[in-house]
Structure 1
Amino acid sequence: MNFELSYGSHLAAKLERTQSYLQRCGQPALLISSGVQEPIFQDDYYHPFVVNPFFKEWLPLLNVPNCYLLIRQNGRPSLFFHKPVDIWHKVSDLPEAFWVTHFDILEYSEPQQLNTLLSGLLSALGEPSLFIGLAAAIPDVSGVEWLHNDSAVLNHLKYYRARKSEYERQSIEQANAQAAQCHTAAKEAFMAGACEFEINKAYIGALNLREHELPYGNIIAVNENAAILHYTHLQTEALHRSRSFLIDAGFSVNGYAADISRSYCREQGEAASCFQNLIDELDKAQLALIDELKPGMHYLDAHKDMHRRVGDILHAADILKVDGESALAEGITGKFLPHGLGHLLGVQVHDLGGWQQNEMGDISEPPSEHPYLRLNRELEEDMVITVEPGIYFIEPLLAELKSSSQSVCVNWDLLDSLRPFGGIRIEDNVAISANGNQNYTRKFLP
């Protein structure tokens, strides 16, 4: 996919909005760090480098610590590219990439060189400049005062990050295309009887990935482990029975993430047939809900709608003795679907700003009965979100349900037969549009 044209428009729009903010607020400049390579405590090795998300939404320079992006009230942005003299490690060269012509690029090797360059650009401005990043990355520039991680500028950037440019949407779409290849390889490994560790090897081997290059740790959960929402243990033991498989795994393109979940069943029998039916019905309900999402709809309403659909699925399967509306009202569906329906997606898997109502930073937290909802605002044109309903058999939650007055609403014999299957999650990445939503995941993965 050619990103050159869409990237120019993406950067121009971000630059215009940010420079307008700086002028309006009387701030002379904004400096954003790519991040630092953090040492392991009491060791001479380092943690894997993770780029600052506020940096990578401007440019896809993802693996080079100690770089800086400078935006002033007027003019082109400046990139300070760190190229140290180092006999121990490979030093990154400036990429020959589609984005480099949009920046004034200054290379430096030592911190003092950076400080001199920044001093020449900023010291005459007279006012404190904004800085975003870790405290360890703040340059010691003579004559320059920094406002570190100022909440007003962070709120401004987070709020507008929710709507994605064409370049960002293209990046997420391409990330879905790549992730789909890995998901297919993982499914085939599961169907062949592989253990969790081997399934994960198939996933990362499909595109020759290193695990730290993924946007998050893969969830590869077989059988009962699928009931653990963020399961990342990766058992290495061979499986005597391989009933079910839940995978939640992604990919990243230009720093933008795909976040995809699927569930599968390979066992035969009455309980397995019921579990496969739950997968099929949840899949239909998820797609139907995606078709109904539109700008102006509040995501909390969509979340509650999915709870009703989940309740109806459980009722039709004879697991619940009440319909979805009653199950939602009684708090029963939350025992089977405890997490939120989805979240914003972008340079962070759980992209920031999901509760934020405006650029000033006003927050609307989700209601107490749905505390884990990460997106609690109205949908807007060009938002990219996940839609990830689930049905889980989580032991502590089922124990709460069994000890409550709602216990009589459950067919416990049938439910108990499903516990060994763990649970189901189906997750797609969707761009919201008034002219029909774009489901990036289903373009490449059924």
Structure 2
Amino acid sequence: MFAQTTYRQRRQQLCQRLGHGLIVLLGNDESGMNFRDNWYHFRQDSSFSYYFGLNLPSLVAVLDADSGEEILFAPEQSLDDIIWTGPLPSMEEQAEQVGVRTVRPLEQAGAYLASKSTVHYLPPYRPEHVLKLAAWTEKAPAQVAAGASVALIEAVVAQRAVKSAEEVQELHAAATGSARMQLAALHQARAGMREFEVAAEALRSAQSQGLQLSYPLILTTQGQVLHNHYLGNTLQAGDLLLFDGGVETARYYAGDLTRTFPVSATFSARQRELYQVVLDAQLAAIAALRPGVRFLDVHLLACQKLVEGLIQVGLMRGNAEEAVRAGAHTMFFQCGLGHMLGLDVHDMESLGETYVGYTRELRKSTAFGLKSLRLGRELQAGFAVTIEPGIYIIPELIDQKRGDATFQRFINFERLDTYRDFGGIRIEDDFIITEHGSQLLGEPLAKTVAEIEAIRGQALS
């Protein structure tokens, strides 16, 4: 955890932003895989961790924005707990580490909250949280989400979105750990291996660094499937392998990197030219990052650069700007350029993209492609973001759009049909927005054609 003063200041700022009422933050409970005591790896709720820093299950914290009172409700340690997990410092001692001086038994939380007239809570994403809040607020479970406090959501987003210097160091560590995991896959992948065997090497790298995954690995020769967790394909010479994987630190700050590389020692000519198109789009987007720039506009710039490259290789035609305005680029790039990064790999996604990635003035588009852009708002110094353009050739999309007049105008379908089995390419890095631009998070990871081929050539020699 961070220093006690960090958590105290965060809580004080939250109360000042909100101004009044009682704030309740729910820590996560243990969650059984297939029966109650066979637990998944415990992961604390990110907002609870941000304000209270304690990595223990079944905690409930309340802040009184009017009086400044802070209470931690916690289960009492039993003899059974000591037998199974060993002795721990008292809850009072652990609470003191984060500056909380009042600890009460967990079973008193419901009565305490029920006695208050104004209770602010964040949108619950776990069913057990829904049931607790339903009981405490006397709402039906179906009504709990609608009762989440917009004022609290906006206050939390305003704080968590801007990363402090110590948070930036955590993000550097997460990105570095992620880069080292990526390198393990780059070095170990071979024709004849199954995807899960390469994933095992990546996991070994993460765990040898004492780190957990920040999200389930995407490692696939079928990169046109954006969230492909299958891991069952066999690598073959001539394939591209897309690896989207990141780790999180002990304080839960996430890394999120993607590299696409040849299973063979070198890219084929087609792979090389499309890889360079994606890399050029990423570099253009990175150069545009600075405070005051809308991420939506950075996304559209990357889309235009993709189209310019695709025109050069003969897969698109016409004017690049017009093609992007018409949405024709979505034949190849169906998702968003990136997202916020922090304690969650899609930072604060449980609080709602409306509040995290957009504003009351800038609403999210419903158009194909743009509806998948998680972040559109103006960037600020201290924001952490990913930049991850890609090209994804999806045969079903080709067939669906073949008769569309807009796509016929900009897409060379005859040539595109010869790429139906191409797959996908994504290149992703993490950045912190600075006062005058941006800074790469973590150790630089090979991504030029020459760098990738040098690693693959050495690995296979």
TM-score interval, normalised by the smaller of the two chains: 0.7 to 0.9
| Structure 2 Cα separation of the partners of residues 92 and 359 of structure 1 | 46
Q: Secondary structure at the match of 1:355?
A: helix
**SS of the residue 2:334 aligns to:** coil
Task: Describe the shift of the 1:297–1:397 C-alpha distance in structure 2 as closer, same or farther (beyond 3 A).
Answer: same
How does 1:136-147 map onto structure 2 within 5 Å? 136-137=131-132
Partner of 2:378: 378
Matching residue's letter, 1:32: L
Match of 2:444 in 1: 443
Q: Tell me which residue corresponds to 1:263.
A: 260
Query: Is the Cα contact below 8 Å between 1:32 and 1:54 reproduced in 2?
Result: yes
Aligned-residue offset at 1:238: 3.8
Give the equivalent residue in structure 1 for 2:292: 296
Residue 161 of structure 1 is matched in structure 2 by 160
Corresponding residue number in structure 2 for 1:318: 314
Aligned to 2:88: 93
How has the CA–CA distance of structure 1 residues 177 and 42 changed in structure 2, closer, same or farther, with 3 Å as cutoff? closer
| 2:171 is the counterpart of 1:178 | no
One-letter amino acid matched to 2:256? D
- Equivalent residue for 1:402? 402
Q: Which moved more, 1:30-39 or 1:355-364?
A: 355-364
Aligned mates of 2:391, 2:359 — CA distance in 1: 37
Alignment TM-score, normalising by the size of structure 1: 0.81
Structure 2: state its 5+ residue gaps: 137-143, 448-461
Structure 1 residues not aligned, in runs of 5+ = 142-146
Moved more, 148-157 or 314-323: 148-157
Q: Which moved more, 1:413-422 or 1:364-373?
A: 413-422
Give, in angstroms, the shift of residue 284 of structure 1: 2.9
**Which is further off, 169-178 or 352-361?**
352-361
Output the CA distance in 1 between the equivalents of 2:357 and 2:277: 37
The aligned residue for residue 303 of structure 2 is 307
Task: Give, in angstroms, the shift of residue 401 of structure 1.
Answer: 3.0
User: What is the deviation of 1:334?
Assistant: 0.9
Q: How many residues align?
A: 424
Residues 269-310 of structure 1, C-alpha deviation per residue, up to 9 Å, x if partnerless? 9x8212122213322331232121111111111111111111
Task: Give distance in 2, aligned partners of 1:81 and 1:209.
Answer: 33
Rounded to whole Å, the distance in 1 between the matches of 2:214 and 2:321 is 36
**Corresponding letter in the other structure for 1:186:** A
Query: For residues 319 and 388 of structure 1, what CA distance do their matches in structure 2 show?
Result: 21
CA distance in 2, matches of 1:55, 1:335: 41
SS at structure 1 position matched to 2:206: coil
1:391 shift after superposition:
0.6
**What CA distance in whole angstroms lies between the structure 2 residues aligned with 1:367 and 1:139?**
32
1:13 Cα deviation after fit: 4.2
Deviation, structure 1 residue 417: 4.0
One-letter amino acid matched to 1:302: V
Indicate yes or no: 2:346 matched with 1:350.
Answer: yes
Corresponding residue to 1:37 among 30, 48, 61? 30
**Equivalent residue of 2:51, what SS?**
coil
1:272 and 2:268 are equivalent in the alignment: yes
SS in 1 for 2:207: coil
Instruction: Tell me how far apart the structure 2 counterparts of residues 256 and 95 of structure 1 sit (CA, whole Å).
Output: 27
- Is contact 1:345–1:386 with CA below 8 Å preserved after alignment? yes
Corresponding residue of 2:452 = none
The answer for the alignment partner of 1:420 in structure 2 is: 421
> Is contact 1:355-1:375 (8 Å) kept?
no
Contact 2:241/2:260 (8 A) holds in 1: yes
Partner SS, residue 71 of structure 1:
strand
Take 2:42 and 2:363, find their aligned partners in 1: how far apart are those partners? 33
Distance 1:348 1:12 in 2: 21
- SS of the counterpart of 1:70? strand
CA distance in 1, matches of 2:72, 2:61: 5
Instruction: Give the drift of 1:15.
Output: 2.2
1:214 — aligned with what?
213
1:53 aligns with 2:46: yes
**Partner Cα distance (2:357, 2:235) in 1:** 50
Q: 2:307 corresponds to which letter in structure 1? A: G
The separation in 2 between residues aligned to 1:33 and 1:376, in whole angstroms, is: 29
TM-score of the superposed pair, with normalisation by structure 2:
0.79
More helix by share: 2
Whole-angstrom distance in 1 between the partners of 2:101 and 2:244? 38
- C-alpha distance in structure 2 between counterparts of 1:293 and 1:443, whole Å: 18
Mean Cα displacement is larger for which, 176-185 or 313-322?
313-322
> Residue 230 of structure 1 aligns with which residue?
227
Partners of 1:396 and 1:95 lie apart in 2 by 58
Give the structure 2 partner of residue 246 of structure 1: 242
Alpha-carbon offset, residue 50 of structure 1: 3.7
Superposed CA deviations along residues 116-147 of structure 1, whole A, max 9, x for unmatched, are 9x95xx89x96444445513445989xxxxx9
- CA distance 1:430–1:357, change in 2 (3 Å): closer
Which deviates further from its counterpart, 87-96 or 375-384? 87-96
Structure 2 residue aligned with 1:68: 60
The percentage of counterpart residues that share the same residue type is: 23
CA gap of 1:315–1:258, structure 2 versus 1, over 3 A, is: same
